[in-house]
Structure 1
Amino acid sequence: MTDNGQNGLNPGRPPASRIRLVVSDMDGTLLTPEKQVTRHSIAAIQTLKQAGVPVCLVSSRPPGGMEMYFDVLGLHTPYGALNGGTIFNADRTIRSRLSLDPEAVQETLDMLKVHDIEAWLFRGHEWLVTNATGAYVEPEAKAVRMTPTAVPSFDDYRQDVGKVTGSSADYEALMRQELEIGQLLEGRASVARSCQCFLDITPKDANKGYALRQLASFYNIPIEEVACIGDMNNDVPMLSIGGLSIAMGQSKPEVAETAHFVTAPNSEDGWAKAIEQFVLPRVAPLSDSSAGKTVS
C-alpha cells in the first residue's frame, strides 16, 4: 500500500485524524472483480459497527443492485444509488432525489444514438431500456438482480430521470463521449464513466460528493470526519472532499491523486486493508447526540 501524503488537488488538506462515518463505492472497491464480498471486508464492517461507526454505500448502480448485498454485509443504513443522486432510507423509501432536466435527457439520448451507444434510463426503482437484447443488458440484469422494463421509445419517460447510462464495448467512444457530453451539458449535468463500458449522466449535483454530504448530514457528522473509498472517475467528487479519502490500488493516476492514501487493488482485499490500516486507527464512535440514527 502506498501513502500518497497530501491530497493531489488540494495540498493543504491533510488526512483526518478522527473518523466517525465511512462512505464507500461498491464496484471496483468493496466488491471483488467477480462482484463478491470477501470475509475480510465483512469482518471489517463488523469491527466498524462495534466501534459505533456506520458504513454507507454509494454507487452508480440502481437501488436493487445495491440492496442485494445488504444482508450478507449486515448493513441497514441509508445509501446513495444512481451515482448518489437518489438517497434511499434503509427501508427502501426515497429520502431525497435529484432529476435530470428533460431537455438534458433528450440531448444525451441524441448524442448516444449518433455514436451508436446504447442508452438506458433509471427512475427511482425503475430501469428502462428500448433494446432488451442489448449486449450489456443480460449481464447487468444478472449482476444487479433486476429485470429492466422494455419500452418502444423513451419519449414518454424523460421526466424524473435520475440517470442515463450509455453502454458500449467501444471504450474509446465512451471516453470521447464523456468529454463531448460533458461539454454539451456543462453546468446542467454530471458526466463520468463508472467503468470502462458504462458512461453515466446524472443531475448536476447528483454525484458522490453530494451523496457524501447528504449521508454525513443524516448522521450529523461533518465531512471532515468522513472516510471515503473509491476507484473510478465518478468517485472523485467524494474523494476530493472527504476527511480521509482512499483510492483503490487499481485506480488510474487521475483518481489516485485525489486521495490521501492508496490501498491494495480490489483483487487483493484492498477494501479490508484500507479499513484496517487507515480507518480503524482513526475511528471515534458516534456520540449520543447524533442519534436517533441507528448504526447497523
Structure 2
Amino acid sequence: MSEVAQHPIRFLLSDMDGTLLLPDHSLSQRTIDAVRALREAGVLFSLATGRPPKAMLQAIEALGVDLPTAAFNGGTIVNPDGSLLVAHYLPATAALIALALFADQPDIEVWVFSGGDWLVKDPSGPMVPREQYGLGYPPVSVDSFEPFLARIDKIVAASSNAELLVELEARLLPLVEGQAQVSRSQPVYLDVTAMRANKGDALATLAGFLGVPLQQTAAMGDGGNDPAMFHRAGLSIAMGQAEEEVRRQADVVTGANTEDGAALAIERYILPR
C-alpha cells in the first residue's frame, strides 16, 4: 500500500455483480452518490463485467457512465454510442473442448453468448430464471451451438453445485491453455472466454484509451475474474464477501456489497487522494 499510495487515482474500473450491485441487482443510493462524487472530483469511472453489453445499460444510465465499458470480462469493449472498440471471440477449438466437457455433466447448464443473444438448449433449466432476472431479458432456445462457433463471446457453465464448478475449472484450464481464459465470475458461474477477454487487458486498454498511467488506476471487484485487473491496477480493492483467494490478491479489502462496500472504498481509498 505504501508504494501505490504515492499516486493519485485518476481512473476507477469496477465490477458490477457482487461489487456495485446488491444481491437483488439494484444499486443503493449511497453507491450512486459515491460514484457521482467520484466523477465530480474528476476521477474517471467505468465498468468491467462478465455481463453482455445490453445487460449493463441500466447501471450505465443510473451511474452516469459516459466512457467505454467492458463486457464479457473484457472480451467486448463498447463505446458509449454502442459501437465496438474491441471484440475478442473465443476460438472455435477451445469452444468445442469446453462444450464437450460440460455436456457430460448432468448438474451443469450450458449457455453461449453470441451476437448479443443468450443461447440455451434448455430454457427451462433451474438456473435460467436467476440469470434472466439479472440480465433483464430472456434466452434464445437453440438445438445446437455449432452454428455460432465463429463468434462466441462467452460460454458459461452454470450450476448450484459450486464445488463441481471448481473441479471443472481445474480440469478445463490445462485443456485450453493458451487458447482461452477460464474463471468463476460468481460461485455458481464458470466463464470461458478468449485469452484477451480478461479484465486485466480491459483495464490496460481503457487506461491507454483515456491516457491514464496504470499506476494511477484502481480496480474493484469480488469474483475470480477480478484479480486479472487487480494485478494491473495501481490500487486494487476486493469486496468483503469475496473468497479468500480473491481478497488476498488485492491491496485493500472493503466491506461486503450488502454493506455498501463499494461506496465505502470510494470514500475511504480514492476520494481522499
Please give the per-residue CA displacement for 1:121-165, whole angstroms capped at 9, x wherever unaligned. Answer: 112422111111111122211211122211111121111111100
Question: Of 57, 81, 87, which residue of structure 1 is paired with 2:77?
Answer: 87
C-alpha distance in 2 between matches for 1:16 and 1:83: 29
Label 1:109 to 1:16 Cα distance change in 2 as closer, same or farther (>3 A): farther
CA contact (8 A) 1:189 1:201 kept: yes
* Number of residue-to-residue matches in the alignment: 272
Please give the per-residue CA displacement for 1:81-122, whole angstroms capped at 9, x wherever unaligned. Answer: 011111001112211100111111111000001123221111
1:72 lines up with 2:62 in the alignment = yes
Aligned to 2:155: 164
SS at match of 2:118: strand
1:48 lines up with 2:35 in the alignment = no
Aligned to 1:136: 127
- CA RMSD across the alignment: 1.3
C-alpha distance in 2 between matches for 1:169 and 1:268: 24
Aligned to 1:57: 47
SS at match of 1:166: strand
1 or 2 for the larger relative contact order (CA 8 Å, sep ≥6)? 1
Aligned to 1:38: 28
Alignment of 1:234-273 (within 5 A): 234-273=225-264
CA contact (8 A) 1:16 1:224 kept: no
Question: Of 206, 214, 219, which residue of structure 2 is paired with 1:215?
Answer: 206
CA contact (8 A) 1:80 1:88 kept: yes
C-alpha distance in 2 between matches for 1:16 and 1:77: 26
CA contact (8 A) 1:15 1:260 kept: no
C-alpha distance in 2 between matches for 1:254 and 1:224: 23
C-alpha distance in 2 between matches for 1:101 and 1:47: 41
TM-score by length of 1: 0.89
Structure 1 residue runs of 4+, over 2 Å off?
13-17
Question: Of 146, 150, 153, which residue of structure 2 is paired with 1:155?
Answer: 146
SS at match of 2:102: helix
Please give the per-residue CA displacement for 1:144-195, whole angstroms capped at 9, x wherever unaligned. Answer: 1122211111121111111100111111111101111111111111100011
**Matched letter for residue 123 of structure 2:** A
CA contact (8 A) 1:223 1:243 kept: yes
Q: For residue 199 of structure 1, report the CA deviation from its aligned partner.
A: 0.3
Identical columns (%):
39
Question: Of 94, 104, 107, which residue of structure 2 is paired with 1:114?
Answer: 104
Question: Of 160, 184, 191, which residue of structure 1 is paired with 2:175?
Answer: 184
Aligned to 2:221: 230
CA contact (8 A) 2:4 2:215 kept: no
CA contact (8 A) 2:204 2:232 kept: no
C-alpha distance in 2 between matches for 1:81 and 1:66: 8
C-alpha distance in 2 between matches for 1:146 and 1:180: 31
Please give the per-residue CA displacement for 1:48-96, whole angstroms capped at 9, x wherever unaligned. Answer: 1112212110000111211122222222221100111110011122111
TM-score by length of 2: 0.96
C-alpha distance in 2 between matches for 1:29 and 1:79: 16
Aligned to 1:287: none
1:103 lines up with 2:89 in the alignment = no
Specify every segment of 5 or more residues in structure 2 that has no aligned partner in the other structure, as ranges.
none
Please give the per-residue CA displacement for 1:228-264, whole angstroms capped at 9, x wherever unaligned. Answer: 1011111010012200111111112211111111111
C-alpha distance in 1 between matches for 2:235 and 2:197: 21
